[in-house]
Chain A
Amino acid sequence: MRVERTEAGVLVGAWPAHAERTALLEARGALLAWDVLADDPVPSARIHDLDRAADWLWEVYGTAAAAITSGAAEVTVPAEGDWRVRDACRVVAHLGWADAWWPASPTAGVPALDPALLRAELAVATGSVEHLLDAEDAVERALAAVGPFTADPAVDALAARLVALAEDYGVVLAEAAVPSRSSFALAAGGGEQAEGVTVLSGADAVDWALVPQGVVDAAADARWSLVRRQGSTFLEVAVSPGPRSGPPLAARFGQVEVALDDTDGLGRVTGRAPVPPTVLLLPPAQRVLTVYAPDFASPAAGPDPDARTRRAAIVARARSRVGSPTATLTERLAGRR
């Protein structure tokens, strides 16, 4: 692995190319990152405090840690070794990634994760690596974030560990209750077919960073059409929902803003706005639909040409994790709880 030294610290290895594929761990004196699209068990690191990090860096890089701290430009991390702590770190990072970016998608067949199970598994995993984390109260915070958690036979062992951990840290867990899972929004909405003549239509991917986790189907495009009806022009937008409810959505198309506050017969979130006929004259490059949650993020400028390939790869990776024996319990049980 390459080791680069900059003013801000030491960079070990190649940092994942995009936030969406980054499984991050905030360790004492360094950030560690695993690329969720790679199978490499060895993370890259951004070390900002070498003194603090040196205390545990050997858990992650083994004998290469000494070379990293003493100025080497290239190190080889041995394959053999006791990597249990590093593997535990990876689980914490991976669950953090899943919490943020898991691409739940009814259309692509990626089932939703159970958020309560995820938080429980994350708390237990955090307990395994507390000694090298930045936050001294990481376990307490992780336990406090565990919502009502219903045990069933598939998660008995995890539940027992969660209870023991909570007891060891003196945290009273939230009372178990019937898990509240929002079902897919299938309720029929207005259902009225938009009449008129569709003049132009298209579809664009939704930028994951502009909507909260799980609110929009991660793999389905948002569709737009420009419709002429009774002498007026309308922009109509439809986007497939994800498994979670969230703040209101909106869409931007050229200069036009449209609130997505309706639901169609297919369960899609829809919106319609009158537009001036000049919208029909927009050059194709500007006929781009951007869906976003105004209370969450603002549409950012800047093209992201890799987005489609990257997201397809993440969706495929997520699908392969469901039911995989090497995945976390939360992923294995996706869609089953």
Chain B
Amino acid sequence: MVSTVRTQAQPAEVALPRGLLIAQAWSALGDAVAPLSNPEGRPLARTVKLILDPLVLRPVQNPRFAAGAVGIEHVDALRDRITEAGPVLAATAAWFLVVKKERRKAGITDGNPQDLYFQRCYELASAHGDPRLDPAAVAGRAAAVLAEAHRREGPTLAGLRDFVTGHDAELTRLLDTAWAHPPVPRREPGPARPEAFLATCATTPDRALFAALVADSAGSRSAAELDLPGGARVRGLTDLDRPARPVLGHGAAKQNLPKPFDRSVVERLFGAVTSPLRDALDDVPALVRQEISRSAGPWQLADETGRVVLALGWEATVALVGGPPGPAGGATARLRLRWDREAYVHRALRMPSSMPDGVRADVDGVREAYQRRLWVRVHGRELRHDTVTADELWDVLDGVLRSVVLDQRDRLRSALERRSAGGPS
């Protein structure tokens, strides 16, 4: 599968696409890295994201290797970096095959093997080299990787239920107290302007401005609107006129959860305690008590950064429903372009353009669906202490619209298939 990617850099060029340079250097590594490559011999998306970027190129330490174009003077350095990593990458690939085989033997099917094992295989390769060097130790090391990757620590759904049931009276009192003294909303806008941040966040995020928005409580200020009648409803966060104190709850189902603010405390934590990332969570008592106080906070979030993200998301989606798109290249204009593109893709893919009311209710209301999805993401990250940074913000805003749009397509398709099969719509 060895291939060479030819380039004919023109003299005038001062930079080359990073993807091209990586592909060139990668193809020189040959078949040894095939398990980390796609059938065309390019590194897999996760090979770049989980191995080459964080472990080999390290653009944080080496900004000259950062995404985008690489200056012509750094081209050789980048190629050398990958070539030098060749043996350890080949060993990583070999370890990946070993671990996958062990996974199959153990009958494990959950989790994405690339996500779970790529970096661990790189560690094994760095520590022990190629697995064939020490065949006697291979099975044990692979099994240890599996045990570590699939070790499920952190709170569980059963633990959550037990705690809530056992502390019913105390927790209900806590809820009452938290909701008896809601924060006094500050309605006047602060000095830091969300739209200024949105204007450049897709290309050159202004970290200082983002920090100023947080320091200035721009998120909490924007939450004042949620207390007005219908304010949280139009943002897709509740079916009620005003958010009501959540109940503690007991059970939850993955499907058909109520809107975020209408969820019980258990339902709010359900996703997090059943996720593969639950080892990043606090223990159950802390988790529940924090959720209770979170539910009474602005945007029903605990951290001002998350509230700012929600405020920015609401602002950035105004053009999806006919509002002004703001400056070209800004987040608002870009989200609008994605939405327009989706209308075209719908026609090109022969998606339904009219549908029964039951389905329509699910599909309409993109801004509400967006805000709801964004809340769930930010809330989940808050639970894992994974605060959104200024640099990540555009990817979060764009990614939420993408997943809202793709889910709509899936929902339309399955509604159509259901009706075609003669079932109820």
Which residues of chain A in 30-63 are interfacial with respect to chain B, using CB atoms and an 8 Å cutoff? 31, 48-49, 51, 54-59, 63
Instruction: Name the contact of B341 in the complex, choosing from A48, A99, A209 (C-beta under 8 A).
Output: A48
Q: Bound complex: CA of A208 vs CA of B100, how far in Å?
A: 46
Q: Is the CB of A169 within 8 A of B114?
A: yes
Q: How far is the CA of A132 from the CA of B6 in the complex (A)?
A: 19
Please classify how large the interface on chain B is, using the bins under 10, 10 to 19, 20 to 34, 35 or more: 35 or more
Q: Is the CB of B109 within 8 A of A170?
A: yes
Known: A131-B43, A167-B104, A247-B420. Contact between A31 and B341, CB under 8 A? yes
Q: Does B45 contact A (CB under 8 A)?
A: yes
With the chains together, A8 CA to B334 CA distance in Å? Answer: 9
Mask of A200-222 contacts with B, CB within 8 angstroms, 1/0? 00000000110011010000000
Does residue A141 face the partner (Cβ distance < 8 Å to B)? yes
Size class of the A contact interface (CB-based, 8 Å): 35 or more
A134 close to chain B: CB less than 8 A: yes
Taking CB as reference atom, which chain B residue is nearest A26? B345
Q: Give the interface segment out of B137-145, B287-295, B314-322, B351-359.
A: B351-359
Whether the Cβ atoms of A100 and B348 lie closer than 8 Å is: yes
Q: Does A225 contact B (CB under 8 A)?
A: no
Q: Is the C-beta of B10 less than 8 angstroms from some C-beta in chain A?
A: yes
Q: What sequence of 0s and 1s flags, for each residue 123-154 of chain B, a beta carbon within 8 Å of any chain A beta carbon?
A: 00000000000000000000000000000000
- Is there an interface contact between A131 and B10, defined as CB atoms closer than 8 Å? no
Q: Which of B40, B114, B347, B425 contacts A85 (CB 8 A)?
A: B40
Whether, in the assembled complex, B245 has its beta carbon less than 8 Å from a beta carbon of chain A, the answer is no
Question: Which of A24, A31, A58 counts the most chain B CB atoms within 10 A?
Answer: A58
Contact A24 B349 (CB under 8 A): yes
Q: Which residues of B contact A195 (CB under 8 A)?
A: none
A170 B112 Cβ-Cβ under 8 A: yes
Q: Is the CB of A130 within 8 A of B410?
A: no
Closest-by-CB residue of A relative to B48 is: A131
A148 contacts the other chain (CB 8 A)? no
Q: How would residues 65 to 79 of chain A score, 1 for a CB under 8 Å from any chain B CB and 0 otherwise?
A: 110001000000000
A-B contacts, 13 of them at CB < 8 A, read: A54-B19, A56-B17, A63-B8, A82-B6, A141-B406, A209-B350, A245-B420, A246-B416, A246-B420, A295-B425, A296-B352, A296-B355, A297-B353
With contacts A54-B19, A244-B420 known, what are 18 further pairs, Cβ within 8 A?
A54-B17, A55-B17, A55-B18, A55-B67, A70-B13, A82-B3, A82-B6, A88-B39, A88-B40, A100-B349, A131-B45, A167-B104, A168-B100, A168-B113, A169-B114, A170-B116, A215-B420, A246-B416
